[in-house]
Amino acid sequence: MHKDKFARGKGRFYAVDYKPPAEEPDIKFPLILTTGRLLNQFHTGTMIRRSEGIDEVYPVAHAEINPRDAAKYNIADEDDVVLETRRGQITAKALITKKSRPGIVFMPFHFHEAAANILTNPVLDPIAKIPEFKVCALRISKK
């Protein structure tokens, strides 16, 4: 069934030109914040975080920081850090990891006590008309 649908051209993909995000790093906010999900969490954790086994994996809000950036900002693993954008600031634990590329900080949005979307940019994509929640300029410091 899927093959027929796509063979008739009803499920085509179209190439689009790259458009940079509305907000890029600068001197005041030199890093990029990106947000996303954790495998074992769901939304703000209001239900899933009541499960002891699941909550043991990531019990507190954290920001994944590349070791190079951590050294630059004198941040150690599990330090309390302040993440700040033009829209606000939150506090989380530092998780130093090579999973994040230099210049990019990843933060899951599952923690109501450190709601990552307070920081994100709500500007709408000009084509898809969805909020640009996945990338914005950030600065980070040890609390």
- The 10s digit of each residue's pLDDT in 39-91 is 555 555 555 556 666 655 566 788 999 999 999 999 999 999 999 999 999 99
Collapse the DSSP code of 80 into the 3-class scheme (helix H, G, I; strand E, B; otherwise coil) and give the result: strand
73-96 residues labelled b (16+ CB within 10 A) or e (exposed) = bebeeebebebbbeeeebebbbbb
Which of the pair, 103 or 128, is modelled with greater confidence?
A: 103
Four-point Cα dihedral 137, 68, 99, 129, nearest 10: 10
What are the residue ranges spanned by the domains of the chain?
20-142
Q: Are 62 and 107 in contact (CB under 8 A)?
A: yes
Rounded Cα–Cα distance for residues 131 and 129 (Å): 7
Q: Are 32 and 83 in contact (CB under 8 A)?
A: no
For domain 20-142, the CATH architecture is Beta Barrel (2.40)
Q: Which residue, among 15, 17, 33, has the nearest Cα to 82 in the 3D structure? A: 33
Rounded percentage of the chain residues whose pLDDT exceeds 90? 45
Is pLDDT at 3 greater than 70 in this prediction? no
Confidence band for 23, pLDDT divided at 50, 70 and 90: very high
